[in-house]
């Protein structure tokens, strides 16, 4: 059976799904991710679904489960790169994927996780570099 690779980049686990998301693959990914989060101690997970043509209700539910499991393990999950056609189909089906945070692409997903961390740690003394360049 095919497996989805899980890459660790800094404090983030990056999962780019490039194969058809069959039910077994989704369940396997859910297990792999939980193990990797515990093993690496990261605080963010980015799941890139830009290569997926179809997101059915099972995959949607699995993504929600992954998000919940990661949250329990103190890691935020962001699903990135959903295609317009996929989004439209999900809306037409009435699936709004509650509990899943989304971003347009990996870059924005990383930014989202980064800003979350800054918000969550007010004792952090060093100034936020992004805010400095913006002002």
Q: How far is the CB of 25 from another protein (least distance, A)?
A: 21
Joined tokens for residue 61: 């539910």
Give whole-number Cα distances, 114 to 2, 6, 63, 67, 117, in Å: 31, 19, 21, 17, 5
Q: Between residues 68 and 96, which has the closer beta carbon with respect to another protein?
A: 96
Q: How far is the CB of 57 from another protein (least distance, A)?
A: 13
Instruction: List Cβ neighbours of 135 (8 Å cut-off, separation of 6 or more).
Output: none
- Mark residues 85-124: x for contact with another protein by CB under 8 A, - for none: -xxx-xxx---xx---xxxxx-xxx-xx-xx--x------
Q: Between residues 6 and 86, which has the closer beta carbon with respect to another protein?
A: 86
Q: Between residues 44 and 109, which has the closer beta carbon with respect to another protein?
A: 109
Q: By the criterion CB under 8 A, which residues form the site for another protein?
A: 78-80, 82-84, 86-88, 90-92, 96-97, 101-105, 107-109, 111-112, 114-115, 118, 128, 130-131, 134-135
């Amino acid at each position: 059976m095919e497996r989805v690779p899980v890459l660790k980049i800094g404090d983030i686990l990056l999962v780019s799904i490039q194969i058809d998301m069959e039910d077994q693959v989704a369940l396997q990914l859910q297990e792999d991710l939980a193990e990797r989060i515990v093993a690496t101690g990261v605080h963010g997970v980015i799941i890139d679904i830009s290569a997926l043509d179809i997101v059915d209700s099972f995959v949607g539910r699995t993504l929600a489960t992954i998000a919940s499991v990661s949250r329990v393990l103190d890691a935020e999950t962001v699903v990135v790169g959903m295609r317009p056609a996929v989004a439209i189909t999900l809306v037409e089906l009435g699936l709004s994927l509650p509990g899943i945070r989304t971003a347009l692409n990996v870059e924005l997903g990383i930014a989202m996780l980064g800003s979350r961390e800054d918000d969550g740690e007010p004792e952090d003394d060093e100034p936020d570099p992004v805010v400095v360049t913006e002002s």
